[in-house]
Structure 1
Amino acid sequence: MTTQQILDFYRRPAAMTSAGEHARALEDLPRDVAALARIVQGVLLHQHWASKYGVTLSDERLGESHIRPTGQMLDRLFTHDHQPLSAARPPGARLVGICRHFTVLLAALLRAKGVPARARCGFGAYFMPDLRLDHWVCEYWNAEQARWILVDAQIDDVQRAALKLDFDPLDVPRDRFLIAGDAWAQCRAGEADPSTFGIFDMFGSWFIAGNLVRDVAALNNMEMLPWDDWGAMVGPDEPLKDDHLALFDRLAALTHTPDATFADLRALYEGDERLRVPATVYNAVLNRPETV
Structure 2
Amino acid sequence: MDYTRQTRFSDPRQHAALFDPLPADPDGIGAVVRNLAVHYRASGIDFPPDRLTEIDSRWVDRILGADRKRFATPLAEPRPPEQRVVGCCRDFALLTVAALRHKGVPARSRIGFADYIVPGDHLDHVITEFWDGSRWIATDTEVDVPDVRLAPGGLRTAAQVWTDHRSGVVDVETFGVGGDPELRGAWFVRNYVIYELAHRRGDELLLWDLWGDMGREPPADPALIDEIADLLQSADAGDKAAERKLADRYADDLRLHPGDQIRCVSPRGVVSDVDLRVST
TM-score (norm 2): 0.91
Partner of 1:161: none
Give a deviation string over 1:39-81, Cα, whole Å, max 9, x none: 1001111111222xxx431111111000001011111111111
Report 1:97-176 matches (<5 A). 97-143=87-133, 146-156=134-144, 169-174=145-150, 175=152, 176=154
User: 2:203 pairs with 222, 226, 235, which one?
Assistant: 222
Range moving further from structure 2, 172-181 or 258-267: 258-267
Partner of 2:275: 291
Partner of 1:42: 35
Distance in structure 2 (CA, Å) of the matches to 1:172 and 1:279: 34
Distance in structure 1 (CA, Å) of the matches to 2:9 and 2:219: 30
Counterpart secondary structure, 2:125: strand
Range moving further from structure 2, 250-259 or 96-105: 250-259
Give a deviation string over 1:173-225, Cα, whole Å, max 9, x none: 22221110011011111111111111122111100000010111000101111
Counterpart secondary structure, 1:195: helix
Residue identity in the other structure for 1:148: W
8 Å contact from structure 1 (residues 81, 93) kept in 2 = no
8 Å contact from structure 2 (residues 190, 219) kept in 1 = no
Q: What's the offset of the Cα at 1:267?
A: 0.9
1:248 aligns with 2:225: yes
Name the Cα RMSD after superposition.
1.3
Residue identity in the other structure for 1:182: Q
Partner of 2:155: 177
Residue identity in the other structure for 2:124: D
Count the aligned residue pairs: 264
8 Å contact from structure 1 (residues 19, 74) kept in 2 = yes
Distance in structure 1 (CA, Å) of the matches to 2:234 and 2:99: 24
Unmatched tracts of structure 1, length 5 or more: 1-5, 157-168
Q: What's the offset of the Cα at 1:283?
A: 1.0
Distance in structure 1 (CA, Å) of the matches to 2:101 and 2:251: 23
8 Å contact from structure 1 (residues 227, 284) kept in 2 = yes
Unmatched tracts of structure 2, length 5 or more: none
Distance in structure 2 (CA, Å) of the matches to 1:88 and 1:270: 42
Distance in structure 2 (CA, Å) of the matches to 1:257 and 1:10: 19
Identity score, percent: 31
Range moving further from structure 2, 259-268 or 69-78: 259-268
Distance in structure 2 (CA, Å) of the matches to 1:203 and 1:86: 36
8 Å contact from structure 1 (residues 124, 133) kept in 2 = yes
Give a deviation string over 1:100-144, Cα, whole Å, max 9, x none: 00000000000000001101111111233332111111111111x
Report 1:192-271 matches (<5 A). 192-199=170-177, 200-201=180-181, 202-235=183-216, 238-241=217-220, 244-258=221-235, 259-260=238-239, 261-271=242-252
Residue identity in the other structure for 2:10: T
Range moving further from structure 2, 275-284 or 217-226: 275-284
Query: Post-superposition, which runs of at least 4 consecutive aligned residues in structure 1 deviate over 4 A?
Result: none
Residue identity in the other structure for 1:88: P
**Between Structure 1 and Structure 2, which shows a larger proportion of helix residues?**
1
8 Å contact from structure 2 (residues 208, 264) kept in 1 = yes
Q: What's the offset of the Cα at 1:226?
A: 0.5
